[in-house]
Structure 1
Amino acid sequence: MKKGFAGLIAGLMMTAALPAIANESVTAGANDPTQWTMQLSNYAGTSYSELDEITKDNVGDLQVAWSFSTGVLRGHEGSPLVIDDVMYVHTPFPNNVYALDLKNDGRILWRYNPEQNPDVIGVMCCDTVNRGLAFADGTIFLSQADTTLVALDAKTGEVKWTAVNGDPTKGETATATPLIVRDKIFVGISGGEYGVRGHMTAYNIADGSMAWRAYSTGPDEDMLVDPENTTVLGKPIGADSSLNSWEGDQWQIGGGTTWGWTTYDPELDLIYYGTGNPSTWNPSQRPGDNKWSMTIMARNPETGMAKWFYQKTPHDEWDYDGVNENILVDQEIDGQMRKLLVNFDRNGFAYTLDRETGELLVAEKFDPAVNWATHVEMDPTSDQYGRPQVVAEYSTEQNGEDVNSTGICPAALGSKDQQPAAFSPKTGLFYVPTNHVCMDYEPFRVSYAAGQPYVGATLSMFPAPDSHGGMGNFIAWDATTGEMKWSLPEQFSVWSGALATAGDVVFYGTLEGYLKAVDSETGEELYKFKTPSGIIGNVFTYEREGKQYLGVLSGVGGWAGIGLAAGLTNANDGLGAVGGYAALSDYTALGGQLTVFTLPDQS
């Protein structure tokens, strides 16, 4: 087994070469593939492991090593962390945390059971999920549903400090995992369906005091934008870029929440994250581009100042939140090695950008069913440069309020939601869990009231027509050319995070509850195992006493499984997902379990 990185592997931004500006404890954990110390395995967000005991030749022999019940019956996203023979397991609301002793049959060393007002459940739009814990400097960090950021002593579970990041009575909640760089921890906010004004906030990890906050919308000083030195597609952003794109003071309830993933390039010293949908979902009520919702943001972690922005879906009409992970790799394009950022957006386009400058290099559909736009304009001389070219038939604004626009692909939950993709430096490919779902969308006029839903649209969802009849695919993608290499159809959306490994195997989970292993080159299915509940968690791996282990949380829920998770039956409930995924109840039921696999001992 590999005990550390053997060297720099082409295509992967290796944490072994990181300069000292990154947090040393985070870097050390990411350098050690025997542990799993970050949700996406490293700062680059590649969800890749150097462990190679489990290969495409022996993965079919995997057996369940042990399991653990979390005691909570809602959607289980994210993954546990593994640090120094201790596994840290989180749950959905009420956001319990368990520390399990891997040297003693998973004995519970400590548990953290927070007391939260259950009213917060009512303002969590798409299940009570939490995407996992963060670790640095002997401390476990949890962002609770009620927006309380908690620092726990990793050895004892004792609360070191707490910081309140938002106000649930206004619809502000928390679902994302934080990221730590140096002495700061970064955490976003959820609540775009309640008119929440999105922001990214940095807290000092020593005491929980706020270091800076950057809003997604509003005046330049609130957004930490320098009009001359922040760029958009290589040009200065200009003064009051956000204010000029909203009518009146709508930016104050404009959405752009930050509930997705954050990644970091230590060499460029930039963090990357995305902003969500503008509020309301009725586009006629908010004319303009609604900047900077639906945007990839690159910022300095020390000051929060913005380096560059790229808005993927100006004036969003479909709820195509732009919060998905930004994966950082170094690959060759047109004969030149580039520092790339790769993003598989809800809107159905896969974007490849230069992560230093924000230059747009590739933008192609990663699901052929996508029809709301023909393409993204790639001519830098065009006034439409970087903008998707919208098809009038599928424009919910052009069709008007109280008009049901039919057959829009993808549905609001996107061609891919937050479930993270993986990248293998051995193949140079990205492995992407996707949705293959379309929708009918009818906007209606809605008034804002703090803490009340601010949606303004009725949706219904269904499988994309003229295809395999299922609602998902697991695909391999070349981000340098914008080409799909292979695609595996699934009956339901693939809502788990993927894992790529040096053993030439890629893992993912299905909504029915299967953990699957496929050949990283060909996509051939090599193994599957039915866990007790649907999988929306992220697959992870670690090594202990020379053996490689593989684990995943199962517990159906999330947006796709909200009908099961919350007991909803009306087809239009769950923002349209309940009807689309009604058949899921024929295949799985609620649960909350960690299942860990390994190869049998050789006799």
Structure 2
Amino acid sequence: MRRSGCAVALLMTSALAMPAFANDDVIKNTSDSKQWAIPTGDYANHRYSKLDQINASNVGDLKVAWTFSTGVLRGHEGSPLVIGNIMYIHTPFPNNIFALDLDNENQILWKYQPKQDPSVIGVMCCDTVNRGIAYADGKLFLHQADTTVVAIDAKTGKEVWKAVNGDPKKGETGTMAPIVVKDKVIIGISGAEFGIQGHVTAYDIATGKRAWRGYNVGTDDQILFDPEKTLSLGKPVGKNSSIKTWNGDQWKIGGGSVWGWFSYDPELNLVYYGSANPSTWNPAQRAGPDGKQIDQKWTMSIIARNVDSGVAAWAYQMTPFDEWDYDGVNENILAEHEINGKTHKTLVHFDRNGFAYTLDRTNGELLVAKPYDPDLNWSSGVEMDKSKPNYGRPTVVASKSTFLNGPDVNSKNICPAALGFKDMQPAAYSPQTNLYYVPINNVCMDYEPFKVSYSPGQPYVGATLSMFPPEGKTNTGHVIAWDAAKGEIVFSHDERFSVWSGVLTTAGGIFCHGTLEGYLKCRDQKDGKELFKHRVPSGVIGNVFTYEHKDKQYIGVYSGVGGWAGIGLAAGLDKPTDGLGAVGNYAGLKKFTDLGGSLSIYSLP
């Protein structure tokens, strides 16, 4: 959708003048703690439940209440939805959906089985995962692997409408969970490793008609940035804020895909998300005509967009001129914190690059930027002095720069690895403690860029990676509690493997997560003490959730190892540098778990 800069400005003005109303059905359902009505728990991405029947004093008594096999043997990310007495379960490719009747022995009411060309599997970067479905106004919304957005009647399982969101022949695929806001369902696109031009698109929930599309790289009319009103670190972005930071037309295959999580502030009418890496992974091929670094905006960025128009209110780039594949797609958690004597409406983001950011979500002001794992070594810190020309930018340690070291040079021992100290597995916030509970990948890497040519639908990576634990360590995971106002770790507990599971917090004073080798664990929010541990059928990369049915609280999680960390098992890979470097680091997983695809539900006796 092309618009002149003037038209974009008018759109921004008119949109901000409109009253902001979230989707009433989503608000009603997420306000009912008995349900799990949105993949992120609520619009703020807290992943917190007010249920407290299961609590720190009795969680150790949990027993398996029931299980369900999905029939699919690949990585199971995300979580089911629970609306009333119906549970909706989704799967990886082929993206089946089940509706289970919780009132009638969990019988299958219907099963939706989309027909997709299996060739799409070959252009899915890091397993055939799907992160969830959305529900509103009696419809479920699914983003299929082949990029088709489908609205499904929640009572019958029948297709209501569908819209094609991308082209797998170009490497575009669908893996993320949609969000429904007002009369729109909003979805991103995956495929930065194939040189796509990443975007976010809004569709009308009643008809499937496209309302707007905002690219993350491109001309002002494509990215829907107003040169005078869209802010970055307190200043207008200016004309051509994206394309002037690219060499020639490289932005057309520039990456910046969107496959993480959305959050939404109804008062500001802004939807927040992160954009992914620039293409290619070889930074030398993305340098300017003078051979110097250029930012490649707006990849690796948090972007806040007006829901009605798609026009960006502000953007902040975490890792300009990325040299390490530090995608910025991780969740943005909305809360309030007092910082330097002032209470801010904040956005908290645990980036792949290893820094935890606290920003003012009204305008994108940077408040805190600190490492959330002490092994970070690629940067000496983010400049916080507003008077400095590099304000808001990380200072790169020269020896860890894959650009300065040059192509065909293997840069050694960079921490974190490309999969970040945290990938898309979401953290959770607890209003009881005002802390964030974060799943950690404690992994480092060697990174060797090489020249690669672009061909539509073919991998456009250009780097060989090896991954391993930090020096002197054997474990590759932690769970931590984080103080977002101070930028400090409150406590940390080691895990054998990366914690690739999303966290749940509850009013019962607990937080729960899965482990890659296949455990569900619940811990005390105060100190992280392990209170419950139980083996599930396969490794966990799903997100823990909870609901109440017939006055009884349940906690559940998908098992089914896979995703980037488990791609060796999921895709049968064994070369250490396969899976973009992950296979070697997680080779030990096969001693503990194997493929699966099931849901485990727990309750008190």
Question: Which band: TM-score by shorter chain?
Answer: over 0.9
Distance 2:544 2:117 in 1: 31
Superposed CA deviations along residues 151-183 of structure 1, whole A, max 9, x for unmatched, are 000000010000000000100001000001100
Q: 1:440 aligns with which of 428, 438, 446?
A: 446
Q: Secondary structure at the match of 2:111?
A: strand
Q: Which residue of 2 aligns with 1:567?
A: 572
CA shift digits 1:528-552 (9 cap, x unpaired): 0000000000000000111100000
Matches within 5 A, 1:3-402: 21-287=21-287, 288-402=294-408
Matches within 5 A, 1:430-469: 430-467=436-473, 469=474
Counterpart secondary structure, 2:403: helix
**How does 1:465-504 map onto structure 2 within 5 Å?**
465-467=471-473, 469-504=474-509
Q: Is the 8 A contact 2:20 2:267 kept in 1?
A: no
- In structure 2, C-alpha distance between the alignment counterparts of 1:174 and 1:380, rounded to whole Å: 39
- Give the counterpart letter for 1:235 in structure 2: K
Query: What SS class does the counterpart of residue 396 from structure 1 fall into?
Result: coil
- Letter paired with 1:174: G
- Distance in 1 (alpha carbons) for counterparts of 2:576 and 2:33: 44
Q: Cα offset for 1:119?
A: 0.3
Contact 2:225 2:312 in 1 (8 A): yes
Show CA shifts across 1:401-439 (max 9, x none).
100001000000000000000000000000000100000
* Cα displacement (A) at 1:249: 0.1
Deviations 1:20-59 (A, max 9, x none): 7000000001100000000011000000000000011000
Q: Identity over the aligned pairs, expressed in percent? A: 64
Aligned pairs, how many?
Answer: 581
Matched residue, 1:579: 584
Output the CA distance in 1 between the equivalents of 2:536 and 2:261: 26
Residue 532 (structure 1) aligned to one of 537, 556, 567: 537
Q: Which amino acid aligns with 1:213?
A: R
- Pairwise CA distance, 1:335: 2.2
Query: Structure 1, residues 434-478: CA drift from partner, whole Å, max 9, x if none?
Result: 1000000000000000000000000000011134x2001000000
Given residue 488 of structure 1, which amino acid in structure 2 is its aligned partner? H
- 3-state SS of the aligned residue for 2:404? helix
Structure 2 residue identity aligned to 1:356: T
Find the aligned partners of 1:391 and 1:47 in 2 and give their Cα distance.
Answer: 35
Tell me the residue number matched to 2:528: 523
**1:512 paired residue number:** 517
1-side partners of 2:339 and 2:295: how far apart?
31
AA at the equivalent of 1:305: V
Q: Secondary structure at the match of 2:478?
A: strand
Taking the aligned partners of 1:208 and 1:440, their CA distance within structure 2 comes to 45
Q: What do residues 345-387 of structure 1 show as CA deviations (whole Å, max 9, x unaligned)?
A: 0000000000001000000000100100000000000000000
TM-score, length basis structure 1: 0.96
Q: Please state how far the C-alpha of 1:332 moved relative to its aligned partner.
A: 1.6
Q: Which residue of 2 aligns with 1:427?
A: 433
Distance 1:437 1:565 in 2: 20
Q: For residues 139-158 of structure 1, what are the alpha-carbon distances to aligned partners after superposition, in whole Å with 9 as ceiling and x for unaligned?
A: 01100000000100000001
Q: Which segments of structure 1 move beyond 3 Å, counting only runs of 4 or more?
A: none
How far apart are 1:334 and its partner, in Å?
2.1
Q: Give the conservation status (yes or no) of the 8 Å contact 2:20–2:269.
A: no
* Match in the other structure for 2:12: none
For residues 414 and 590 of structure 1, the distance between their equivalents in structure 2, rounded to whole angstroms, comes to 24
Deviation track 1:305-326 (CA, whole Å, cap 9, x = no partner) reads 0100000000000000000000
Question: Unpaired runs of 5+ in structure 2?
Answer: 1-18, 288-293
TM-score w.r.t. length of structure 2: 0.96
SS at match of 1:578: helix
Pair 1:542 & 2:547 matched: yes
Q: Secondary structure at the match of 2:528?
A: coil
CA distance in 2, matches of 1:495, 1:110: 30
CA distance in 2, matches of 1:291, 1:445: 22
State the distance in 1 between where 2:100 and 2:308 align: 34
- Give the match for residue 423 of structure 2: 417
2:596 is aligned to 591
- In the alignment, the residues of structure 1 paired with residue 131 and residue 336 of structure 2 have an alpha-carbon distance, to the nearest angstrom, of 27
In structure 2, what is the equivalent of residue 7 of structure 1? none
**Residue type matched to 1:425 in 2?**
P
Q: Could you give the per-residue CA deviations for residues 191-221 of structure 1, whole angstroms, max 9, x where no partner exists?
A: 0100011000000001101000000111101
- Aligned residue for 1:156, secondary structure, equals coil
Whole-Å Cα distance in 1 between the matches of residues 81 and 262 of structure 2? 17
**Whole-angstrom distance in 2 between the partners of 1:597 and 1:484:** 30
What per-residue deviation string (whole Å, max 9, x for no partner) do you get for residues 120-141 of structure 1?
A: 0000010000000100000011
Deviations 1:93-131 (A, max 9, x none): 000000000001110000001110000000001000000
The one-letter amino acid paired with 2:438 is V
Structure 2: how far apart are the matches of 1:495 and 1:464? 18
AA paired with 2:72?
A: V
Aligned position for 2:8: none
The one-letter amino acid paired with 1:97 is I
| Aligned partners of 2:183 and 2:204 also within 8 Å | yes
Higher mean Cα deviation, 329-338 or 117-126? Answer: 329-338
Q: Quick one: distance in 1 between partners of 2:204 and 2:551? A: 37
Which segments of 5 or more consecutive residues in structure 1 lack a partner in the other structure? 1-18
Distance 1:39 1:218 in 2: 30
Check the 8 A contact 2:20/2:268 in 1, yes or no: no
**Deviation for aligned residue 1:331:** 1.9
Tell me, in whole angstroms, the C-alpha distance in 1 between the residues paired with 2:355 and 2:342.
23
CA distance in 1 between counterparts of 2:534 and 2:526 reads 21
What is the alpha-carbon distance in structure 2 between the residues aligned to residue 333 and residue 229 of structure 1? 26
